[in-house]
Amino acid sequence: MLHVGINGFGTIGKRVADAVRVQPDMTVAGVAKRSPNFEATIADDRGYDLYAADGREPFDEADLATAGTVHDLIETSDVVVDTTPSGVGAANAPLYAEHDTPAIFQGGEDADVADVSFNARANYEKAVGADTARVVSCNTTGLSRLLAPLRESYGVEKSRVTLVRRGADPGQTGRGPINDTLPDPVEIPSHHGPDVQTIFPDLDIDTMGMKVPTTQMHTHSVNVTLESEPTTEEVTALLADESRLFLIPETLGIDGAGKLKEYTRDAGRPRGDVWENCIWAESITVEGRDLYLFQAIHQEADVVPENIDAVRALSERTASAEKSIRRTDEALGVGR
């Protein structure tokens, strides 16, 4: 049984902890938090041992028991998943090295925080036995899952993606916009393309970003110039065969992220999470060598199964991407 510690119990951390909990080969060693807020009470309800990132006093005052400090958590863990806010992970990196504990960072960190930038479908093997890995951002994860099979089957000459991004996560009450559509970043290409190149260094990709007033999901408008000329039906069949790509059938009547989230809530998914890329099947169009499609990415959820696979890769328990992905997906319910 792998003991997995989670440092930072917010949007991503709490989901990773719950995903670890349902894996047959992993257990939650504990979670580190700075403050005894509502998420700390949820950790306590779930039975996760709480460790204090910044001193135990605030937890004592809130009558929440702590099992130790973040140092104790790192020492007791086989692998730590750092899910602290952007930049804090890099500051924490020396802690993990000091304790000689393999660590996984998130996409808010610069690529040089870790030995490998990670996406299970694209480069699992590179992280096997590494000391550190960075699970790339939600958007980069979504693009890597899509581009990996396209590159393998048809070759990719050039990718152009416009990312229409949610303004904030539901809990981020201080962010926006609340009534505007922003080119964000205004500079072209946006930082997303170079981030995808941390997974595929030889990929030719240009990206443009926008921010819109929704908290639901990101939407990508994708154009990929392939090196060969498959039919629309062949590309559809290729993508349908990928466990972390969900092709939304026209018959479901899902016109956007609102109904997608409603669908996963109705289906009983935890927090209504959508772990898969959601591609509108009827948008998949090939004209000559140009493929076009729309996909929606649930920013709070798609990196969660990737973190689980990264834990297996770093711990060297599972050398095969396919085996780890299958195990993660079965335990979590991805694709169901």
Catalogue the active-site residues. 138
# residues contacting ligand NAD (CB under 6 A): 27
Q: Which of residues 121 and 286 has its CB atom nearest to ligand NAD in the complex? A: 121
Scan residues 191-220 and list those touching ligand NAD (CB under 6 A): none
Nearest to 206 by CA among 218, 224, 181, 219: 224
DSSP letter assigned to residue 84 = P
DSSP letter assigned to residue 70 = H
157: enclosing H helix or E strand: strand 156-166
Quick one: tokens of 114?
Answer: 């870790």
Q: Which of residues 10 and 230 has its CB atom nearest to ligand NAD in the complex? A: 10
Only one of the segments 5-13, 42-50, 55-63, 175-183 lies at the binding site for ligand NAD (rule: CB under 6 A); that segment is: 5-13
DSSP letter assigned to residue 286 = E
The correct pick among 6, 20, 53, 296 for binding ligand NAD (CB under 6 A) is: 53
- Please, are residues 144 and 242 in contact by the beta-carbon 8 Å criterion? no
Scan residues 156-185 and list those touching ligand NAD (CB under 6 A): 169
Q: What 3-state DSSP class applies to 285?
A: strand
Quick check: 36 binds ligand NAD (CB under 6 A)? no
Dihedral pair phi/psi, residue 212, rounded to 5°: -130, 160
The correct pick among 30, 36, 107, 142 for binding ligand NAD (CB under 6 A) is: 107
Scan residues 125-144 and list those touching ligand NAD (CB under 6 A): 137-138
Only one of the segments 8-16, 143-151, 232-240, 283-291 lies at the binding site for ligand NAD (rule: CB under 6 A); that segment is: 8-16
CA–CA separation, 92 vs 24, rounded Å? 28
Quick check: 12 binds ligand NAD (CB under 6 A)? yes
Provide the strand spans (E) within 24-96: 26-33, 50-52, 68-69, 79-82
- Residues lying near ligand NAD in the complex (CB under 6 A) are found at 7-13, 32-34, 39, 53, 83-86, 88, 106-109, 137-138, 169, 299-300, 303
